[in-house]
Structure 1
Amino acid sequence: MTKALLTFCVLAALQATAAAQNGTGTPLACFYCKTGQSCHPAPQTCSPPQDACIIVREHNTLGAENSGTYQSCANSRQNLTGFLAFYFGATVAVEIQSEICKTDDCNAESTPSRLPISSIRNGLQCPACYAPGFESCESDGALHCTGGANRCADVVGMLAQGGVAIPFAARGCATQAACGIKMLESGVFTYKLTKVQCSPAPQAQPSSATRTLAWDPFTLGSIVPWASLFLSALLGLFLC
C-alpha cells in the first residue's frame, strides 16, 4: 500500500513538471503583459500546473469605451477559451476573446486587437440594468439581445483595476460561456463575480419597450489605465 502510494505521488509530480514544459522538454515560457501596466521585456518561465500561454482581448463600454489585452502563463484546464459577452444596456457591453497556445512566447502581441461590439439582433430579449457601486439593480426595460447572446443573466460582483475595486450589479443578455465565469483576469478589468444566474432568453415581444445595443463604430476605443479615471468613469454613471 505504501509503495503504491509513493509511486502515485512520484507520477503526479512528474506529470505536474511535464505540464509546464514545451515540446522540447524545457520549461515553457510565455509573454506577460496587461494593458495599462508595466510589461516584462522577456518571456517569463511558467511553473506547474501552468501548461500554456494565454492571451485575452477585451473591449467594453462600462462607463467609457475601453480596449486591452492580457498575456500570461496559464493552466489550460482552468481557463475559459473562446468568445464570451455580456450586454447590460443600450450602451453597456463587455466582449472578451480568450485563446491559449503551448509553445514558447506564442502569446506575444504588441498591439491589442479591438473586438467589435455586436449590433445584430437575434430575436431574443432580456431585462436589463447596470448599477456600478451597488449590489443589486432593477430592470428599467427589456433589451434586444444581439449576436450569440442567448441567455438572460443576473450578475453581481466586483470590477478591479490597478488595485482599486468597485462593486456592481447588472442584468442583461449573455453568451453561454459568460455564464460560467467566477473570476477572470481580462485585458482591461479583473472580474470577480459572486453571482451569475442565467436562463434561456425568451423571444422578443414586438409590443414591448425594448432597446438595442447602440454605439459609434467610428469612435476609437480608449484605454483607461489609471484607477482614478476608472472610478470616475464608473461612478459618473450613477451620480448623474
Structure 2
Amino acid sequence: MMKALLSASLLLVLLSPVLPLDCRYAYNGTGMTYNGYLKTTCDWKKQSCVAGVLRTNIMKPQVQLSNKCSPSSSCLSGHYSFTAADDKFFEMKKYCCKTELCNDATLSFPDRNMLTENGLQCPACFSKGKEECKSEKTINCLENETQCVVFKGSLSRALFEEHSFTFQGCGTTDFCALRKNGRGVTGMGSFLLLVIQESCYNASRISH
C-alpha cells in the first residue's frame, strides 16, 4: 500500500505542469536608466530572466537597456566587447538567471572617456562591407579587453538595418568565446550580432 502511494505521488509530481517563470521587464532604447520595472510572465520557450545593456557606434552611437524573459539557450552571462580602429566599438553585458524576478539589476557602462588602458596592444583596422581590412597600425587595449581579435560579421537592428563589417582590434575573452562555444549569433534588445569569422590570440605588452 505504501509503495503504491509513493508511486502515485511521484507520478503526480512528474505530471504536474511546470509553473511559468516571472521576470522583471523594462526597456530603454536611448539610455542607461529606468523609471521602474514591471513583472512579466514568461512563456514556456523562455526559462531564463536576463538583464542586459548594449552600447555601440558601429552604425551610429546607440545605447539599449533591457530586462526581460529569455530562452536559456541564447542567454549566457558575460561581458562581450571589442575596440577597433577609428574608435569603433561594441559593448554588451548580460546577466542571466532562473529564479523568480531575479533580473532586477540595472547594468551600465562607464563613460568611454573614463576607460583606462591596460598596458596591452593589438593590430587594428576597421572596414565596412565584407572585404577584410588590413592592419597598418596598433591600438592600446582598454580595461579587460586582453585579446587581439580578427573578426568578420554583421550587426543588424530590428532585422532591417544590417551593417556588414570586418575589424582587427582588442576584445574580451567572453567576446572571443562566442565562436568557440558554437554561438555564431548574439545580441540584446533589437540588436543582433552575427559572427561569421572570429580568431583571437593574447595581446602583447606595450614596449616602452
TM-score using structure 2 length: 0.73
Structure-1 residue corresponding to 2:140? 144
From 40, 43, 48, the equivalent of 1:43 is: 40
Structure 2 distance, partners of 1:123, 1:201, is 9
Residues 17-70 of structure 1, C-alpha deviations (whole Å, 9 max, x = no match): 98xx5xxxx211335565549xxx76142314x431012211223253221123
User: Which residue number in structure 2 is paired with residue 61 of structure 1?
Assistant: 57
1:183 aligns with 2:170: no
Does the residue aligned with 1:152 lie in a helix, a strand or coil?
strand
RMSD: 3.0
Q: Which has the higher contact order (CA 8 A, sep 6+)?
A: 1
Query: Number of residue pairs matched?
Result: 181
8 Å Cα contact 1:35/1:68 also seen in 2: yes
Q: Is the 8 A contact 1:135 1:167 kept in 2?
A: no
Kindly indicate whether the alpha-carbon contact (under 8 Å) linking 1:57 and 1:114 is maintained by their aligned counterparts in 2: yes
2:109 aligned to which of 115, 118, 121 = 115
Shift, 1:129, TM fit: 1.3
Q: Which residue of 2 aligns with 1:167?
A: 164
| Residue 102 (str. 1) matches residue 98 (str. 2) | yes
SS of the equivalent of 1:180 reads helix
TM-score (norm 1): 0.64
Q: Which runs of 5+ in 1 are unaligned?
A: 1-10, 207-240
Residues 57/65 of structure 1: CA separation in 2 closer, same or farther (3 Å cut): same
Distance change (3 Å), C-alpha of 1:170 and 1:52: same
Taking only the aligned residue pairs, the percentage that are identical comes to 25
Q: Which runs of 5 or more structure 2 residues have no equivalent in the other structure?
A: 1-10, 31-37, 179-183
- SS of alignment partner, residue 104 of structure 1: coil
